[in-house]
Amino acid sequence: METACTNVAGFRELYEKFRQKITVAGRGESTLRNYSHHLAKLALHFNDLPTQVDPEQINDYLYLVKQQHNTPSDSYFKFTVYALRFAYRMEGLRDKRIELPSIKRDKRLPVVLSREEVRRLLKAPKLLKHRVLIGLLYGCGLRCFEVRNLKISDLDFDRRMLHVRQGKGKKDRYVPLSAILSRGLKAYIEAEKPSAWLFNGREQEINGRAGGDFDSRYSQRGVQWALKQAKKDAGITKDMTVHTLRHTYATHLLEEGLDIMTIKELLGHECIDTTMVYLHVAQSGRVRPFSPLDRLYPMAE
């Protein structure tokens, strides 16, 4: 980002305008970071502002991105297109002759861990911090940024509830805490004595780099590394990410009989269609909300 601001004339001003528009539109920091990163890459490639590049060159660039980043999710390509769309709207270039491709929704079913795989995953980490971290991701169905944003004040041990603040779409929600996870959290807090955040970053992450993902919170890379190491030690061969634990949370709740509307609220989904993908694995029923960790360790009460 800084390289583009320094080397491409006018990019810093474009970025500042872009940042303001993103903020006013109610988008999160991750959206700003992702969109800006892809616009900066494009600007450096052409040594020109993305909004000034010829339509033919844009199409050639998108073809190049598609060839170089042909991943299963096509996430790099998607964010490049999304960023360009937002920039064009911002600059009033909707009528510019650039036909950006429509992005098709990924219709593949999510990867889901078995209960035995979850048990092995929770047992694998050597550090209590990592066991609790993975326990929250699975046991509460959290997104990566949501677990990073947790504070001690978000934990209600008396009611056994977790307050998830400003999730996706700027929505707060409450999710149940299991008994065994509550015990683990209390032990972790007593041992580690976290301050600003429930999971603080390492000193070099806090002071080593400015801006971006490196602040006093546990970094996104740190969360990903902890899960990757646990997956390896647990001998799990499925292609999984941090979000796989959220998919597994929803699927296991469905298999235990929790209804789809309650799961929608627990996940913080805006639209029921997003939650419906989990219906392929279980029949729905009307039961009281609970954490799936309680089913793994029923004697923890």
| Residues with a known catalytic role | 143, 168, 243, 246, 269, 278
Packing angle between helix 115-123 and helix 242-255, nearest 10 degrees? 140
- The answer to whether the CB of 14 falls within 8 A of the CB of 5 is no
